[in-house]
Chain A
Amino acid sequence: MIGRTCGQIVAAAAIAMIACARPSYLGAQLPHPCLAHDIEGCLGWMVERDLSEAELDLYADGGLRDYVQGVAERLAAVSSLAHAPRIVIADRDGTYATSGSRIVLGRLTIERLGSEAELAGVVAHELAHIEGHHAVVSLFGPPPDDDWLVLRRDAEAIADERAVALLERAGYAPGAMARALRAVLDTEDDEHPLRADRIARVAVMARDRRGYEGRAELLAHLERMVVGRDPRLGRRVGDAWVVAALGLALDLGDGDVVREADHVLVVRRAQNTIAAYAIGLPWGREIAGALDDRAADDRGLGRVTFGTVARPSERDTTPLGKLAHAVRNSLPQPPVGTRVAILERARGALVIELGGRAVPDLGLREATADELAAAEPTRIVIERAWRAGPIAQALVCEGRLLDDPERRVAAGDPVKCADRQPGSRELSLAAASARTP
């Protein structure tokens, strides 16, 4: 009897384990929305996972995220949404509403803003896209054509105008919307109304209505935030390419022809070309696991897998497989047929694409403390204006001024500055280079 019961328990446990063996995405089990036909919720989760586990592009500052989330909750309370969207801060420029009620806010966008009301304007614009289901229109709508572009431009104009209304209802100064647009828009494209028209329209809507600005509150939360491109994903320091996020350095020789683009290093060495860039560890392992003619070893720096990027042999035609395939296509990855080496580190992986017939000596090593220090990013510091008037006349920053120089401040008001002057990094790099053996 006992034996039979045990057998039943073992069988039940086995069935439960099989049932619990959920499919995974970038090292994590798929959440409930992906298994419950909630395509928006599933896609939103994948987008967030891509940022953190594939692109290393999640800006991990819990305090700042919670602060922006609070702003989103105040705006959502006066909107038609039942719940506030989830705020995700990306370590790059650009802000967008994505599926699954998520707003991806670029750190470089936040950097340009001067008050909480302006931040609320940017969040309110994206929140309006979520309210109006505009993201669904663009993601799953028909193929883009002229009519689609008209609808896109409508959606952008509606989101601007709705943002002014939400700012008013939430008690923020509605005039902040025009300032926010002025600060963050710098290019024109077919999908948006003209920049000048957008700004003029929201300025007319706001007129002279007053409300909460919250300049000091925003600036207090920006203290120590990284400014500009984060060099820890790849920066030249003296005669090495340093990926501080992974604690790695790649030595560059005299004969090397070096080109840097964003966080990608391209080196022409003898007859070979090498391209190197950092990605998330789960994504690196996935790419390494699918290589043709795979060979792996541990060279002290971590596990290295060599091989050739294979064409996906079997296409997963399940609905989930198709979605994951579409999302994966947008991730950083070497092209099919490329020979690669993938080095796994604790906080990510380095992809090295090997062009040419020979495998050159890569010159990879642990980065030195000086190199890591030289690759530290510039950060925001908040200084105080010593007199009233335009910020440009107050001369408060020891480093670079990050605020609008024409903004008028009172004595003692906070002002946004960088913690170093332009050029000071080059000095520190030269010093690091001199110290590097």
Chain B
Amino acid sequence: MHGVYRGTRRAPPAVRTVADLRAGALLAEGEIVRVPLLVLAIVTACHVPSPERAPVAGRCAFNRIGEVTVTGAPRDAVPQLVVLEGTVDDPERTARTAEAATAALRTAGHAQARIAIARRAGCRVDLDVAVALGPRYRIASIAFESEDEFPAAERLAAIEDALGTVNTVGGVYVEYRLTRALADLERRYRDAGWLDARLGAPHATYDLDGTVAIAIPVAAGRRFRIASVKAVGASPFARAAVLQTLGLRAGDYFDGPSIRTAIERARHKLARWVELRTSVAGDRPEIELEAIVEARR
């Protein structure tokens, strides 16, 4: 949530007035939007029947959206709005749909995309959709701000999304998906022994050349090793068998997936319930493992 547009923070709201678009030079002066009002502001106008558009019955039981005209982008850039043709006119719903369409454009890399909708209301309501796409940003670099030893390629692969089109160098930046991927990556850091790892919110810097640089702060902390592996409960013979089957050794880095696999292997191979208790060994970056072995019933 720290996107910076070279001096201005964050992208503007999704749906803007036509005046805003002109002020931001995103809509040319010559471009015509017939009713330059905010969508939400025009709620009641739709109930005024337009003589030339009124249905044959002569009364409007309800209003339907007639034509959706798109300017500034191809029609298929805003399918969410085009599909409104023929549906019931509901200005609030149209505004929400416009926000969803804007979000979709931003997900496709148009980080400054804006949509303005003007309505020509009668029994049939036509929508004029003015789209200002803005530049399509591509990720130029992704930097993890850390000196830790977590494999760099694995880290980048963990955040790459959508078959290599999102959150990867050359792809588009989608903040919420990166945030979700970083939460998963933080878990993997901990699984790999960095038990105190914290991954901060990504920082995006947009450049005028249509690129975006992503920086991800990482506070990895110390990497923990296994201090000792002990077994308690059941018979000495059973404890020895469990320790041998676990195959965990003091001195190795703490590795969550390996430990879980070892526990499952011991449970199945020895047909005993085995539970593992972990505790941090004092102020050292070490973990003590204690296998609790159930006596056979």
Contact = CB atoms under 8 A, between A and B. Distances in A.
Nearest to B155: A317
B80 A319 contact: no
B163 A323 contact: yes
Interface in B241-297: 257, 260-261, 264-265, 267-269, 271
- Tell which of A34, A168, A292 has the most Cβ of chain B within 10 Å: A292
B163 A165 contact: no
Interface string A129-151: 00111101100101100000011
B79 A80 contact: yes
- Tell which of B84, B163, B176 has the most Cβ of chain A within 10 Å: B163
Contact of A165 (B61, B86, B257, B268): B86
A131 B163 contact: no
B86 A161 contact: yes
Given A132-B80, A142-B176, A311-B261, A317 B96 contact: no
Contacts, number: 107
A320 B85 CA distance: 36
A426 B137 CA distance: 65
Interface string B147-159: 0000000100110
A308 B96 contact: no
A157 B86 contact: no
A131 B260 contact: no
B201 interface: no
Interface in B88-125: 88, 93, 96-97, 100, 104
Contact of A136 (B88, B104, B271): B104
A113 to B, nearest CB: 22
A389 to B, nearest CB: 32
B225 interface: no
B82 A154 contact: no
A150 B264 contact: no
Interface string B176-197: 1100100000000000000000
B186 to A, nearest CB: 15
B257 A205 contact: no
A317 B268 contact: no
Contacts of B162: 37, 39, 140, 319
Interface string B51-64: 00000000001101
Chain A's interface size range is 35 or more
Interface in A291-333: 292-293, 308, 310-311, 313, 317-320, 322-323
Interface residues of B, number: 41
Given A137-B104, A205-B88, A34 B83 contact: no
Contacts of A286: none
Contacts of A151: 96, 100
A198 to B, nearest CB: 12
A310 B258 CA distance: 12
A339 to B, nearest CB: 7
Given A151-B96, A317-B157, A336-B264, A165 B164 contact: no
A338 to B, nearest CB: 9
Contact of A162 (B61, B83, B93): B83
A42 B162 CA distance: 10
Q: Is the interface of A mostly helix, strand, loop or mixed?
A: helix
Contact of B83 (A39, A42, A131): A131
A21 interface: no
Given A34-B163, A204-B61, A317-B158, A165 B87 contact: yes
19 contacts: A34-B163, A37-B162, A37-B164, A39-B162, A39-B163, A131-B83, A132-B83, A137-B80, A140-B162, A157-B87, A161-B87, A165-B64, A165-B85, A165-B87, A169-B86, A204-B61, A205-B88, A313-B257, A336-B264
A133 B261 contact: no
B128 interface: no
A337 B268 contact: yes
Contacts of A142: 176
B261 to A, nearest CB: 6
A161 to B, nearest CB: 4
B165 interface: yes
B160 A311 contact: no
Contacts of A154: 93, 96-97
A357 interface: yes
A45 to B, nearest CB: 12
A297 B171 CA distance: 49
A162 to B, nearest CB: 5
Contacts of A168: 86
B47 interface: no
Nearest to B76: A80
A210 interface: no
B79 A42 contact: no
Instruction: Sort A-B residue pairs by CB-CB distance and give the 9 closest, nearest first.
Output: A165-B86, A132-B83, A161-B87, A317-B157, A131-B83, A39-B163, A319-B163, A319-B164, A37-B163
